[in-house]
Structure 1
Amino acid sequence: MTAEPVHFYFDPACPWAWMASRWIMEVEQVRDIDVTWRQMSLWALNEDKDIPEEYREFQERIHPMSRVLARAIAEHGDDVAKPLYDALGERIHHQERKDLDAVTAEALAEVGLPAELMAAGDDASLDEVLREKKQRVTELVGDEVGTPTITVAGSSFFGPVVSPAPQGEAAGRLWDGCVLVAGTDGFFELKRTRDRDPIFHV
């Protein structure tokens, strides 16, 4: 039996995408799925939006890192997306590192990618690549959402936004529910107010 193909779209700076990525890694252990990891750019998603100045500053801070990630994937293939995402996310979300240039350089080194990729952080030509990555996601789920976005069995959805990340069979049950509602014609939204921040350590 062939594993169900799944596409997981992430921005490495998004804490909720990170939570969902840890969850779907648990799902891989208890459900027959095959995850392909795809970059999405929150910078590109928000570049033309009216957002708070503090969030705008955050988008500009993550912008060079997003360019480097895009160049790394373009030059070294889709297989580097997940290990590079893991290396970036560990430093950003778990270690709470703020120097994103240092974080990016260390992540490249960890996964064995050339340090010369850091130059991509200043390459404005990559912005069109980031916009194209964003466009793929907005074509799937619209431009009112972001990351994480997941595609499975012909359906796409934003989320889940969950904290902490369920483990074991609990992860599998959440997956079953997400697939069920995403595959329901005309279904758009389940939501409630968040009452906690991402819980990275359980």
Structure 2
Amino acid sequence: MTNVDMWFDPKCPWAWIASRWLLEVERVREVRVRFHVLSLAVLNEDREVAAWYREWLDTAWGPARVATAVEQEFGDPRGIYTALGNRIHLEKQPLGRPVYLAALAEAGLPAELADAAESTVYDEIMLTGNREALAPVGEDLGTPAIHVTMPDGSINAFFGPVVSPTPRGEAAGRLWDGVLLVSGTPGFFELKRARTRPEVS
């Protein structure tokens, strides 16, 4: 069994697609995924960014804080991520307390965790999580960040993949095989082409 740790921001569409891909990979490969929060709002708090992106980031605090609260209190936030992600990325619901409450209820979690959205109590923990996720990948990157624990105990860490739509079934497994192959090659840094379609799940 290969252990995989993925860091996500609940608002990031590319992380959402990558997470759904990894859930498919679990079905077709001997892989176990653990999810963790990487807050893009924290990552970019003191950076100069475009006005549209700052506006996007300003609304990213709430869901990241709620997911972090769940992770701290209950462990792997897989359930709340799915519940939030469906509402954010598929249903396009506006962010706010009603979304957090509905997602928490769906995941079987206490409603009071919605209070974290407006609190700074978990912000230092999010900063620590960001550092853990990006240390072996690169501080200039973001989500999705993935760490794979290899058979020899080493960590194969990378940003991505950025893919759309979500590969399903054996197609997900083949992409996994390829990603592991190229990311495990010493000195390999980037493989990229222009995006020709919008992100979809």
TM-score range, shorter chain: over 0.9
Cα deviation, residue 139, structure 1: 0.4
* Aligned equivalent of 2:118: 122
Unpaired segments of 5 or more residues in structure 1? none
1:50 alignment partner, one of 29, 48, 51 = 48
- RMSD of aligned C-alpha atoms? 1.2
Determine the C-alpha separation between the residues in 2 that align with 1:131 and 1:74: 14
Determine the C-alpha separation between the residues in 2 that align with 1:140 and 1:112: 34
Determine the C-alpha separation between the residues in 2 that align with 1:10 and 1:32: 22
1:191 match: secondary structure: coil
The one-letter code sitting in structure 2 at the alignment partner of 1:34 is R
1:103-147 superposed Cα distances (whole Å, 9 cap, x missing partner): 111101111211111221222132111111111112021112111
* Aligned equivalent of 1:35: 33
2:84 match: secondary structure: helix
The one-letter code sitting in structure 1 at the alignment partner of 2:47 is K
Determine the C-alpha separation between the residues in 2 that align with 1:59 and 1:24: 25
Cα deviation, residue 38, structure 1: 1.2
% identical equivalent positions:
47
* Aligned equivalent of 1:5: 3
1:144 match: secondary structure: coil
Q: Report whether the alignment pairs 1:97 with 2:85.
A: no
**Deviant stretches of 4+, over 4 Å:** none
Determine the C-alpha separation between the residues in 1 that align with 2:24 and 2:74: 26
Q: Do 1:6 and 1:150's aligned partners in 2 also have CA atoms closer than 8 Å?
A: yes
Report the TM-score, using the length of structure 2 for normalisation. Answer: 0.93
Q: Do 2:36 and 2:71's aligned partners in 1 also have CA atoms closer than 8 Å?
A: no
Determine the C-alpha separation between the residues in 2 that align with 1:75 and 1:25: 23
Q: Bigger CA drift: 82-91 or 31-40?
A: 31-40
Determine the C-alpha separation between the residues in 2 that align with 1:113 and 1:124: 20
Q: Bigger CA drift: 81-90 or 102-111?
A: 102-111
Cα deviation, residue 101, structure 1: 2.5
The one-letter code sitting in structure 2 at the alignment partner of 1:31 is R
Alignment of 1:54-73 (within 5 A): 54-73=52-71
Determine the C-alpha separation between the residues in 2 that align with 1:24 and 1:121: 27
Q: Do 1:62 and 1:100's aligned partners in 2 also have CA atoms closer than 8 Å?
A: no
Report the TM-score, using the length of structure 1 for normalisation. Answer: 0.93
The one-letter code sitting in structure 2 at the alignment partner of 1:137 is A
2:135 alignment partner, one of 134, 139, 158 = 139
* Aligned equivalent of 2:181: 180
* Aligned equivalent of 1:20: 18
Determine the C-alpha separation between the residues in 2 that align with 1:194 and 1:48: 28
Cα deviation, residue 160, structure 1: 0.6
The one-letter code sitting in structure 2 at the alignment partner of 1:179 is L
* Aligned equivalent of 1:151: 147
Q: Do 2:88 and 2:95's aligned partners in 1 also have CA atoms closer than 8 Å?
A: no
The structure where helix makes up a greater share of residues is 1
1:18-60 superposed Cα distances (whole Å, 9 cap, x missing partner): 1111111111111111111111111111112111111111111
* Aligned equivalent of 2:109: 113
